[in-house]
Amino acid sequence: MSDRVGFIGLGIMGAGMTRNLLRANVDLTVYNRTPARMQPLADAGAATAASPAALAANVDVVFLCVSDTPDVEQVLLGDDGVLEGARSGTLVVDMSTISPRATRELAQRLHEAGVAMLDAPVSGGSEGAAKGTLSIMVGGEAADLERARPYLEAMGSTITHVGPISAGQSCKLVNQILVVVNMLAAAEALVFAEAAGLDLERTLEAVVGGAAGSWMLANRGPQVIERDWRPGFTIDLQQKDLRLVLETADENAAPVLATSTVFQLYRTLQREGLGAEGNHALVKALERLSGITVEQS
């Protein structure tokens, strides 16, 4: 691992990912918009940069994990952005979840400056970021992935090259459709179980290991019946990703019936001020419609 590596965005995800790069003895420089968030990384041995441009000028590979599409555009193309500091031969690896179409446009802008790009969004949450067990879905050229692979392996346990540039983002949106529709199924099933007078714990126990089982049912079902709304992934962030699903589905003329329904149900919860709760609080929208409250007695 001879590259000098930069990482931009030390939020919930980036903080854990950069720790794992340091554990793998990567020569690491970090940048965060709010400077205080760089201090723990500096204490752990990372160099710090004053801007994305300054970071890019000093490294060979730039990773970033920031919030949304406009944020990635700003970090890469804005004033003091990566493009101002990057050289021909720099590789940019975007690990944020953003629009596939915008990803293709960004890659084209970088390509014109001799800068290569991979999209490499992740799933696995803050826990996966901290433990280095993320699933990473990569779009772009195979040779660029081989260059980034040692660093991706420090951050994740499953690295899948899914196709050309933006295929990683499209695959991440596939992941998000599966997450929310599985959660809708779990929520509807639990409302039905409550209405039928079933013992909810025993019902979960009976079905979770069979054909109807899912990660969401196994992990979030128990949280729902305990009425524990602490987030693994918040409703607000989930909605950002569902908005990307709906936009991309529209661009590709793909029907997304169940995802559209979940998007509208989450919207009702956001209007009630519940956007910071976990995405399993989806059940509350069905509870409002039915007048049934799901709770282990």
Q: Are 91 and 118 in contact (CB under 8 A)?
A: yes
Q: Which is nearer to ligand NAP, 191 or 231 (CB)?
A: 231
Q: Which is nearer to ligand NAP, 122 or 189 (CB)?
A: 122
Tell me the C-alpha distance between 70 and 78, whole Å: 10
Active site residue 284: no
Q: Is 126 in the site for ligand NAP (CB under 6 A)?
A: yes
Q: Residue 70 CB, nearest distance to ligand NAP (Å)?
A: 7
CA distances from 239 to 122, 151, 178 (A): 17, 29, 14
Tell me the C-alpha distance between 153 and 162, whole Å: 16
Q: Which stretch binds ligand NAP (CB under 6 A): 69-77, 135-143, 195-203, 256-264?
A: 69-77
| Helix ranges, 61-156 (H) | 69-77, 82-85, 100-112, 125-131, 142-155
DSSP state, residue 278 = B
- Of the candidates 5, 7, 14, 55, which one interacts with ligand NAP according to CB under 6 A? 14
Tell me the C-alpha distance between 227 and 199, whole Å: 15
Q: Is 71 in the site for ligand NAP (CB under 6 A)?
A: yes
Q: Is 169 in the site for ligand NAP (CB under 6 A)?
A: no
x/- map, 29-68, ligand NAP, by CB under 6 A = ---xxx--x---------------------------xxx-
- Give the residues lining the site for ligand NAP (CB under 6 A): 9-14, 32-34, 37, 65-67, 71, 74-75, 96-97, 122-123, 125-126, 233, 237
